[in-house]
Structure 1
């Protein structure tokens, strides 16, 4: 409780500082960005683009870990926290509804064409979540010795240096590219640091142990109460998101202001041919609202675990996965890729209204994504006979017996 109070007070103090000195930080950032863009060296833009776009590589680590490591549940929780970071950032952007620097500063050029609000920075939040939660959730021995594993000290220092450096450079790249002020970057780091600290200290191990306990042989699985709580959180989140969407559309952001900002996008961004309006679903408060609804993945994931009626014995998976042939391991990867590829067509559908895009694209993708991972994937593995004893949500019958002749009940006790 002491850490919670300290972290909450620290966040509140910084939010207050940010509000008080917002204009001063904005003015200083304008001077800095114009200087950086006017005095860049050869290859500097490409270097910063690498840091900016590398953000999309890290989630693949969660997918690889889910496929080949025994810490499958950790991989899914890591991916879920990334989605939570995205959803949180988008909700916060609609609360702050602050422009990006290139929207309103004539001399700042955008090296990436982002059309939603700028505060707090999404790259700052998600890069920090990806970099720092990766070792915390998937490779916890980086921070603290584990019963069966210990990293050398130099490996720990190297990893900590790399994730800190990469997080900083990702944030700084956004300032150079004219799409964020450093005030927006620092605020993003502050919010994500708070989320990560609270999650890791108070929630992660409880959630991990709860799921593992529920997925043992003979257990009843996820309780209806947990599903109801997840549903209440998602419903409340959606209501708050709708509230700030409507406030921005009708109160905070006038059509004149939206036109000014979207005209800057139209005139400054390369290959931009559409002059958006305040009603366009892919700009400003509208896209922030849609992306904030990735929170629906949380409900789908919990409900899918209940629906699957499977088990998870991570120690048994590690032993039996090594016995698979290279072909079967490859086939397991292809099955998941093909399954998730079924979600891609949703992103090719063009919507003319924000609610249609939110509930016709983001929510279905979130729900189906959760169900594909928790229900459909394991059923397909079972169908193609490439399921591994101890697999995440493995489907078994009451008479199922492991390949070595030991019943799953005995395996669960021995693990």
Structure 2
């Protein structure tokens, strides 16, 4: 038997862990090279992993719902009779999946970071580190530690145990979160479960039906970490502006009947996106990045526009690449594709990184405005409020108008008050009078 273990790969963005969503194969199945074997969810998107070898599935080493660190074996495949017939799968960069070249590992979308160039933050609970790959020395078992309160999850911790052991624990009413595994690498064994059952360490559910607990993982975990890092790293300043956008809404109605826009979903967000791209030309500071390590401010000559999107998986911020080069129609089409992909969880990981400035459209929820938190690595974020019918003074007369509130948060290390104010005023001026766009 030529048994090989397939480790969870880095999908190309330096991610350190992923959740197993579901297996497409089971023990005993015959698999071929590049056959999809499992779906995982990273902090950025759902990804289908192909099998790098041909052979027979012997064992699934992780179960759905389990969070696994990159490099941890997730499936064992017997290559007898299959490995010689077909080569290992290739990455988008031309290398064989998982193979090292010039100090970099081939991943699904090319090559990952150079070996040793990425330092990962150690986890507080050593038990989440899975059994090491066969080629590495086996780590010593962690020292015993006090068990957490039965029935409670600790910091999103998922106990390490094989599916048969999990089923036994469920049948015996034993809470795996309350156990310290005696197996290699902290893995919980059948004996651990049986010992706990005999010692009356059974699950007791207080206030049954009155509470619901979910582990902190995936998009929610990544969003929380990013927001905390941003809020306590960049000094936020937020400014507000109320704008009469009646001319913008009138232009929108005219364009809807224009042949070029009849089949396009033209929203206020599309106009705001165009206004942001135009206003950046006069105030490039809002499109810059503070590089603490290098001691530099990096000015971008392009706009990768982030759009904060609420999805069933949580808040994600996919990017419209080179939005500053797009026409209004192209922006509207790109925003519609982006929203669809975000809702369906099919946004490519590469589209979730390297943004330069972001818009959060809180108006779709009927909200007037807010104080948005910067997306990490960016210097400005614009909140677009709901467009409402409100009384407005025009030529000394109070008349009903379409009114919208804007809020701009910016990093005061990069953007001074004058620059932030000018940028917000420019965006407001374009939305209040779209003809201003020809002056930029």
Name the one with the larger strand percent: 2
| Structure of greater relative contact order (alpha carbons < 8 Å, 6+ residues apart) | 1
Check whether TM > 0.5: no
Q: In which range does the TM-score fall when normalised by the shorter chain?
A: under 0.3
TM-score (norm 1): 0.23
TM-score (norm 2): 0.22
Name the one with the larger helix percent: 1
